[in-house]
């Protein structure tokens, strides 16, 4: 079992959208997937109540709940943690139990500034056990000046950037509002993007 946490304490960085779609892609490829919602707003848990999730959803309301993940959900191939929209002890706990931390960030200075706190937690954790980490660009708009600034800023952190980004597409917003993932839509570009991204994430373990 591998634990992948999506962490950025800035709300609106695309964590939950990425978690829902990547988890769905992995489940469609035959993997058994558990998703752990650690956000007090419980956006992902509420989304799953539509009953269409291709994966099992659990909630973690405390640091202790997060530390129990490796023992309690060991029967799954992958456990995906949807991080809280604020920096807390739960963020540190998620780093501690993870095999891979993904930091979703939009081409926005505020998003990147918040992401820096996750990098700090990762660096602190490295004294005990080095955790693999990757930046994931979300809501990507080509030709955006901020995109180039963001890539340079990421380079300075020493954390690798995933080659595949999640592009700004209306289908991502609409599908979530409808209680779906992009795989229940007819948008082949979005589906292809997520499938390539999911494969790239899995290749981090090879």
Task: Read off the tokens for 201.
Answer: 């994430």
pLDDT at 126: 63
* Mean pLDDT computed over every residue of the chain: 89
pLDDT at 21: 97
Region at 30 (left for phi over 0; alpha for psi -120 to 50; beta for the rest): left
Phi first, then psi, for residue 147 (nearest 5°) are -65, -45
pLDDT at 198: 97
pLDDT of 109 > 80? The answer is: no
pLDDT at 143: 64
Domains identified in the chain, total number: 1
Give the angle 185-177-98 at the CA atoms, nearest 5°.
90
CA–CA distance, 18 with 176 (Å, rounded to integer): 11
- Of the given ranges (6-10, 100-104, 163-167, 192-196), which has the lowest mean pLDDT? 6-10
Band (pLDDT 50/70/90 cuts) for residue 127 is low
pLDDT at 14: 86
Q: Which residue has the tokens 């964590």?
A: 15
CA–CA distance, 35 with 126 (Å, rounded to integer): 25
Does an H or E element contain 52, and which? none
Q: How far is CA 170 from CA 71, 143, 173, 202, in A?
A: 38, 18, 5, 26
Q: Which residues of 39-70 are buried (b: 16+ CB within 10 A; e: fewer)?
A: beebbbbebbeeeebbbbbbebeebebbbbbe
Residue among 161, 87, 153 nearest 120 (CA): 87
Cβ-count burial of 147 within 10 angstroms (0-12 exposed, 13-18 middle, 19+ buried)?
middle
Could you tell me the CATH number of the domain that includes residue 159?
3.40.50.300
Length of the chain: 206
Q: What is the mean pLDDT of residues 84-104?
A: 87
9 lies in which domain range? 2-203
């Amino acid at each position: 079992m591998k634990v992948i946490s999506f962490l950025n304490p800035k709300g609106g960085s695309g964590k939950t959208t990425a978690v829902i779609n990547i988890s769905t892609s992995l489940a469609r490829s035959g993997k058994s997937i558990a998703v752990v919602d650690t956000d007090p707003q419980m956006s992902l848990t509420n989304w799953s109540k539509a009953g269409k999730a291709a994966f099992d959803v659990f909630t973690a309301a405390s640091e202790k709940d997060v530390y129990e993940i490796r023992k309690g959900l060991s029967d799954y191939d992958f456990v995906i943690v949807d991080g809280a929209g604020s920096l807390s002890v739960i963020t540190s706990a998620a780093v501690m139990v993870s095999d891979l931390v993904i930091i979703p960030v939009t081409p926005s200075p505020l998003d990147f500034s918040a992401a820096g706190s996750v990098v700090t937690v990762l660096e602190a954790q490295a004294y005990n056990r080095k955790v693999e980490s990757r930046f994931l660009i979300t809501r990507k708009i080509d030709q955006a000046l901020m995109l180039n600034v963001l890539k340079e800023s990421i380079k300075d952190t020493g954390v690798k950037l995933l080659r595949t980004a999640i592009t700004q597409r209306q289908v991502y917003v609409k599908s979530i509002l409808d209680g779906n993932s992009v795989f229940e839509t007819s948008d082949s570009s979005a589906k292809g993007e997520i499938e390539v991204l999911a494969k790239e994430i899995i290749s981090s373990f090879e």
